[in-house]
Chain A
């Protein structure tokens, strides 16, 4: 464990660690573009220059291994001057069109040149014009004028996704990032290249031009796309969620996340949500608020359920938090109900794994559901319920429907099949057209909150409990499953001004606090 001194402070680092890692460990400021903690060292941007006592000249911090007793500084006038002029080299061909650029506000280059005051490059010659809007693939757009050739994206496709689509073509100031002919950037992790791009060269087609980043706040949560449970950051404002980015979590996802997970903010937004509860009495639909719907449901059914609990079935999906499972299972158990069914969407492919992050089980909390249910009477297969419904043994069906309905191709057919019950209660977050075709003459649709609107715990594929906190409210009228069950039992809600928070909540910074480059 070598020790070194960084800007006058002593620090002990791991064997083989580089100087830049020591800087990061000390949270000391050091300019860098090409170095990324999740990728190999390239040493091309030449900005992380440091003075090492006894060395012949300035060294790059990203490719120099810390040795015992090194005295390192990047605060000397000489180093500051070197970085300043290194900066100017990056700006030679960069258009500096920050106001139009989508990265403005979270751009490493912008931050640096503002810091050094190099608002105008001092190069006298004309800038080299390159291709502007290059379609790299399904999700990524390239502006090669803005690219500073740090090669992070190229190294990402080489080392992490191992698909090798990107390369640097041509030489000198005509160098450009590009794809090979007939091989677009279409891997399942392509949007990570957008995240790691330190400038606005690579942009996401989905997010491009939709919002300026300084209008967005961010908060940490857990991705609910599959059982990996990546740590993610959601970006939102009062209009809804806009994008999802990965958070560094060494134990789960490292620095990355998949493209599929980045689309998952869409089902949580207001446009695709069930905004109010709906009641169907065989002829007309009635819209009521969620709370009063559950109360009238309780009024109508609670006594019947207590008398004949064996005629009640509860269908669970793996998309709720452990706390909600525990609360609802407990209250159903208290009523004497013990027919709990597990709606598993992709039974055949649930154990698939692509070697990096994506897992076949497209539910964030299947494990949590199984754990919680094993404390009660356990889970039965959903197919059995269809038979029971046919034979008339079950009269009342509660369904805790999934929110990520794109992972449930059988969503509509199951809705129709399950609605053959006499009393049919569908608790879910999404609005779809299939609700109109219910078969039950006593149907309740109860709007539930999505994963960004509640705090709780997901248990991922290997049994790791991950807490996450409330991010924002998108549908104010929706209930959590726990709240719905409390109301159903005939109790009143114990209102909290802020939702329950299980860990200390991180402050929501505006994106000016960009974190890691």
Chain B
């Protein structure tokens, strides 16, 4: 195996030239930023916030049906597909035979979640989506295991996001 050993040149042995060169670069940028604030590439977070597009894949949303109940059928394909294994679902029998199966527990441990979007991809009924929210901070006692209440009915969602897939319509269409 061959490799290159870079020989230190004579100039870099000296301390001052290097330091002065670096300071020069720093001051050049400082003056540039003072007189051209608008061109500065960084943001003063959290006072200033970057606006992502509406298709940004952030916090999960569980969609709802027209009557406001959960769209999820507890098929567990998202939990199966999840590479971080952060989704845990408990299924149960529904009173309505048309619905048959629904989740009584749906929890996402967002601290384990890697926001890959595989759950959204795996879902056969458009029940789980990645929404545009991306700031989900919390203090020390905050709960980062999101349950159904948080995922489907949090205040930001204004009563729930409706799923694009409706069982009734599908049944009427004869599928």
Contact = CB atoms under 8 A, between A and B. Distances in A.
Nearest to B122: A99
B73 A129 contact: no
A100 interface: yes
Contact of A125 (B75, B97, B174): B174
A131 B100 CA distance: 12
B171 A133 contact: no
Given A209-B74, A214-B80, A100 B174 contact: no
Contacts of B80: 212, 214-215
B93 A100 contact: no
Given A126-B174, A209-B93, A99 B98 contact: no
B91 interface: yes
Interface of A: 99-100, 104, 125-127, 129, 131-133, 143, 208-210, 212, 214-215
Contacts of B75: 99-100, 104, 212
Interface string B95-130: 001101100000000000000000000001100000
Nearest to A128: B174
B143 interface: no
Contact of B101 (A100, A125, A131): A100
A126 B171 CA distance: 9
B33 interface: no
A133 B125 contact: no
Interface residues of B, number: 19
A99 B125 contact: yes
Nearest to A205: B93
A215 B76 CA distance: 10
B149 interface: no
A99 B77 contact: yes
A99 B100 contact: no
A210 B92 CA distance: 8
B174 A127 contact: yes
A209 B101 contact: yes
A100 B100 contact: yes
A133 B92 CA distance: 13
Nearest to B92: A209
B19 interface: no
A129 B93 contact: no
B175 A127 contact: yes
Contacts of A133: 93, 97, 100
5 contacts: A100-B73, A100-B74, A100-B75, A131-B97, A215-B80
B126 to A, nearest CB: 12
Nearest to A100: B73
A298 to B, nearest CB: 44
